[in-house]
A = this chain, B = another copy of it.
C-alpha cells in the first residue's frame, strides 16, 4: 500500500519510477479493511492493491512482478538485482537514484500439517493485528496463539477487547512460573499442546483442536507469533539505522541513508495501511524536492516584453 502510494505521487511528480512487486504482501490477507478512510469496510486488501496498481501505471509508473534479490549502493545509484519468474528465471539489474523500501512484513503463522486449514481462517476470524481487528473480537471467546513467552503479553492488551482468552503455545515455548501465575490470576487458560486444526465453517472459527484431543471453544483468535521483515536485500547497505529489525526513519520517511526511504511495516511505528500510505506520500515528495532543487528551472521565454501574444501562442 505504501509503495503504491509512493508510485502514484512519483508518477504525478513526473518522475520515473519502477514498482517491483514481489506479491504476497500482508495486505493481501485482509479480507475486510475496516478502518481506512475512503474504503467501504468490506473492501479487501487484494482489491485495493489491484486497483491502485492499475492507477499507478496509468499515471505513469512502471511495474514489474519480481523478487529483489540484492541491492548494491554504487554511490550515485543503486544496482537492484531482480529475479523475474520462478521457472526459467532471468535476473535483470536496474539502476536508480533512490530506493523506497516498502516490502513490509510477513506474519508468522502456526505451522500445521494442512496449512490450507490456517488460510481458511486467517484474515477472516483468525487475526494477526489487534489494532485492526480487536473490535471484531469484542467479548468473544478468543485464542491467543504465541510462539514465545514474551508474545503472550498480548493477552493483557487483548483483554481490552475480550476477557475470554485462552492461550495456546503450539508446543513452541516453555513458560516461566511468573507468566503462568499471571495468566492464572487473569483466569486465562493455557494449553501448551500442539494445534492440530482450526474448526469451523465458511471461514468462521468455532474452536481449535489440540494434539491431545482437547477442543478449545473459540469463535475468534489472534496469532501473535511475530513477523519476518522482508528487508534482506538491504543487508549489505552501510549506514542504515535499525531498531529490532525495523528501519529507523526520520521526517519524510527517510532512513539514515539519504537515498533510502522506508515505509509502513518495514519501519518503526504502527503497522497500519493509513500509516504506510502516508509514508509513501512523504517519501515521494521528499525525493521530488531533492531532484527538483538541483534541476535547471524551466523558463518560458527570454524577454517577455519583446514577444507578442501571437508569438506566445505559437511558442506554447
Contacts and interface: CB of A to CB of B under 8 A. Distances in A.
A294 interface: no
B298 A14 contact: no
A26 to B, nearest CB: 15
Contact of A270 (B138, B184, B282, B298): B282
Contacts of A135: 11-14, 59
Given A39-B38, A43-B38, A134 B285 contact: no
A165 B106 CA distance: 48
A103 interface: no
A110 interface: no
A188 B300 contact: yes
Contact of A281 (B8, B156, B164, B275): B275
Interface string A223-237: 000000000000000
Interface stretch (A47-55, A80-88, A120-128, A144-152): A47-55
Interface residues of A, number: 74
Given A5-B274, A187-B300, A299-B186, A14 B161 contact: yes
B55 A41 contact: yes
Given A37-B4, A131-B285, A159 B297 contact: yes
A156 to B, nearest CB: 6
Copies assembled: 2
9 contacts: A1-B38, A5-B274, A12-B35, A37-B273, A38-B48, A160-B295, A164-B300, A217-B309, A272-B278
Interface string A278-316: 111110010010001001011111111100010011001
Contacts of A316: 141, 164
Nearest to A133: B12
Most chain B CB atoms below 10 A, which of A37, A164, A298: A37
Contact of A297 (B36, B43, B156): B156
Contacts of A304: 184, 187-189
A90 interface: no
Nearest to A11: B135
A59 B316 CA distance: 53
A37 B165 contact: no
A9 interface: yes
A194 interface: no
